[in-house]
Chains A and B, each alone.
Chain A
């Protein structure tokens, strides 16, 4: 008799439910509470993971017999070494130098890589002319060029900028090339029949359409820049984070090397987050999955 009873319930006279307004209010409040709860729980676990790691790192070298405290200093010692470096300004100076190198090399690569990608994708004769060279050079790891670069440019800023630019150029070129080559022809045809010329089409249609690929290339190029930066600074430099680490190596100061690692990790993390935030703000139609 379920049918009969459900019929009875929708009759206005026998309605015993609370008014819809308050039910929906309660439903919403409950939904909000659950979402807040889930977010809090996630944050708590995130923090707990970090705390567990730091505690284990602190306790194991101190109380175990199988880890040498000199080779694996606990966080308290690393922090002790960090404070004077911070106060003397040495670490800030090194961070600034490294940042500047990475940024200048990456900047050069950004302009050249996207430019080359657009040109080779839009002009087939340029593509055929340069593709063997570009693919050949792309196969050489940037790190392999360090000794040659030092011979040619010395250990100054030029050689570092050139190395980073070289390493970051190829991912930018290839992703821009693919993105521009694969622009949906319907976009190009729409632009053409609305009267767009070459430059308008390039800046208002081709580049935005290729943007998902270009952004992927930028992200990859950013991380390549950091790798090449570290390699270049370690093999010949008088300043910079990685140079500080190789000094720590020579002085047998593992704590300084750990500081370098932490700075580089934070560096890479912040660069990537900044990239995502800037891209979200500039290109609201394109959703980046973190």
Chain B
């Protein structure tokens, strides 16, 4: 994939933070990554490997210390609605109902009230939460909140969904149904997804491509293409093989054997 053809192009990016005593701390060192339109990519790695930093660079929350991040051929200058982030938790506005949260991105671009409302309800319908439209986030379960967050992100029709361990805080049963819903929405909308996780099962279940990262300094250690079609059956031998591929790649750079 050429730099021009890629939707997201990260070129030789390093990100250095000042440590407590001012010593440079390499969150990312010389990382290059290209992601194509419509791809579903998982970034996986141990904590401290810079996967969230990489996501934040693409989102435009931080500027790289060196190197360039570009989106659709132009350098990323800041956050924007073509690259919406879904956070781990607590990102829904607590003072707005589910519907008002979903409407937020439409409100910023001046969509008239009635149209905004209709679009928001349709977006909630797609995550099966139309009945909860008038509830506040504190009245929703963790899984429902993340569904609203996904609806809020998708309603502005982004080109890429940047997801930062979005399902890490929900229980295992809920997580599986959230994953299935995400795959369905990805197929329906054609949006690209960059999904940060530390969960091997999640990466093996979701991704078309798994980027394995390692810490000290944060860098990319392996880039695995996963050919298996969706939906993947967790009970199948094929899935077990996928799982161990990802786990092996992760362990190879971690000095441990796969569990």
Contacts and interface: CB of A to CB of B under 8 A. Distances in A.
Given A195-B156, A197-B108, A189 B93 contact: no
B79 A192 contact: yes
Interface in A179-204: 184, 186-187, 189-197, 200, 204
A234 interface: no
Contact of A187 (B80, B93, B108): B93
Nearest to A184: B90
A202 B138 CA distance: 22
B104 interface: yes
B95 A285 contact: yes
Majority-rule SS of B interface residues: loop
B87 interface: yes
Contacts of A125: none
A286 interface: yes
Given A200-B107, A204-B107, A285-B138, A190 B91 contact: yes
Contacts of B241: none
A18 interface: no
Contacts of B90: 184, 186
Interface in B125-160: 136, 138, 152-153, 156
Interface residues of A, number: 22
Given A208-B95, A283-B95, A286-B95, A190 B107 contact: no
Contacts, number: 66
A284 interface: yes
A141 B152 CA distance: 48
B136 A194 contact: no
A237 interface: no
A195 B81 contact: yes
A197 B87 CA distance: 20
Nearest to A205: B93
Contacts of A286: 95
A204 B95 CA distance: 9
Contacts of B105: 194-195
A271 interface: no
A99 interface: no
Majority-rule SS of A interface residues: helix
A209 interface: yes
Nearest to A283: B95
Nearest to A192: B79
Interface string B78-99: 1111011101001101111000
Interface residues of B, number: 27
B213 interface: no
A112 interface: no
A283 B80 CA distance: 29
B108 A189 contact: no
B71 to A, nearest CB: 12
Contacts of A191: 104, 108
Contacts of B156: 194-195
Given A195-B80, A196-B104, A197-B108, A284 B91 contact: no
Contacts of A209: 93-95
Nearest to B155: A194
A211 interface: yes
A197 B109 CA distance: 10
B59 interface: yes
B17 interface: no
B178 to A, nearest CB: 18
Contacts of A184: 90
Given A186-B87, A194-B104, A285 B136 contact: yes
A193 B83 contact: yes
B219 to A, nearest CB: 25
Ranked nearest first, the 8 interchain pairs of A and B with the lowest CB-CB distance are: A194-B105, A192-B79, A195-B81, A208-B95, A193-B79, A195-B108, A196-B108, A285-B136
7 contacts: A192-B61, A193-B59, A193-B81, A194-B153, A195-B80, A196-B108, A208-B95
Interface of B: 59-61, 78-81, 83-85, 87, 90-91, 93-96, 104-105, 107-109, 136, 138, 152-153, 156
